[in-house]
Amino acid sequence: MGNDTALLSTSTWKSDETKVMLGFAVVKKYIKIRHTIISDKINRGPDYQYYMLVKDRKTKLVKQVALGEKGGVATEKFNAVTRGEKATSDGIVFHANGNIYMVSKSSKQDGIHRGENDAYIAVAEYYR
């Protein structure tokens, strides 16, 4: 892509493949959430905690949810909506410090929506 080509432009943005690439770049820290989703000024206080970005499988809505300061509690809340037969969402857990701690995995084996790709799509759609 040239510098004059917008990554999130019109028809290109609508493809799941592009969303997977953008979400992957965020999760692998090629695009830093500390400078985009999270303000650099947050270093302590009530906003310095764990969050999840999740996409509801039925409504397709993407939301950010505060999970609190304790990693164990954050893990339980995330797993409740992303794992098992009753899973309703796909996404990631991150901390206000910029680190990404968990990425949900799909049980699908084929196609673009296998593995962690649905979580990557959720992250990309949040950026949109």
Query: What are the pLDDT digits (tens) for 38-94?
Result: 666 777 778 889 999 999 999 999 999 999 999 999 999 999 999 998 899 999 999
Q: 101: closest CA among 47, 66, 50?
A: 50
Cα pseudo-dihedral 72, 68, 22, 13, rounded to 10: 130
Give the residue, 3 or 75, on which the prediction is more confident. 75
Overall pTM surpassing 0.95 (yes/no): no
Q: Is the pLDDT of residue 27 over 80?
A: yes
Tell me the pLDDT tens digit for each residue of 6-19. 555 555 667 888 88
pLDDT at position 40: 67
SS3 39: coil
Looking at residue 89, its pLDDT comes to 95
The separation between the first and the last C-alpha atoms of the chain, rounded to the nearest angstrom, is 19
What is the percent of the chain with per-residue pLDDT over 90, rounded to a whole number? 42
Q: Where are the alpha helices (DSSP H) in 1-128?
A: 10-13, 16-27, 71-82, 117-127
Residue 4 scores a pLDDT above 50: no
